[in-house]
Amino acid sequence: DTGVSQDPRHKITKRGQNVTFRCDPISEHNRLYWYRQTLGQGPEFLTYFQNEAQLEKSRLLSDRFSAERPKGSFSTLEIQRTEQGDSAMYLCASSFIGTSGAYEQYFGPGTRLTVT
């Protein structure tokens, strides 16, 4: 397994356009998280999944954002009607949660979004 992958690595879009990002977690991981990171700050939690179920959406996630994880495998994050304030690094992480507890989160390389 090569770890968590994200696609695309960079995306430049014009304000008002829709964008979709993809995350492929480590195959045996049942948890998948999305975080957003702006320059000079640590990542902030956006949403997460346990298998295919979306468990929580942060208040940072407006109605323009939607995420899915069909069949509990890869996940997509869509932003509709992008705004300049959406410009950030979008990070995906995965981990395994079991009866013995939670294991470390592994992060992908991120998708850098620039909205012009």
Partner 1 sequence: KQEVTQIPAALSVPEGENLVLNCSFTDSAIYNLQWFRQDPGKGLTSLLLIQSSQREQTSGRLNASLDKSSGRSTLYIAASQPGDSATYLCAAARRSNDYKLSFGAGTTVTVRA
Binding region for partner 1 (CB under 8 A): 6, 31, 33, 35, 40-45, 48, 55-56, 91, 93, 95, 97, 101-102, 104-110, 112
Nearer to partner 1, 79 or 91 (CB): 91
Q: Which is nearer to partner 1, 12 or 102 (CB)?
A: 102
Q: How far is the CB of 6 from partner 1 (least distance, A)?
A: 8
In the bound state with partner 1, the residue whose beta carbon lies nearer, of 7 and 80, is 7
Residue 10 C-beta-side C-alpha neighbours within 13 Å: 2
Fill in the DSSP letter of residue 54: E
- Residue 72 is given by DSSP the state G
Residue 110 Cβ vs partner 1, minimum distance, rounded to whole Å: 4
Strands 5-7 and 53-57: unpaired
Q: Could you tell me whether strands 31-37 and 88-95 are parallel, antiparallel, or unpaired per DSSP bridges?
A: antiparallel
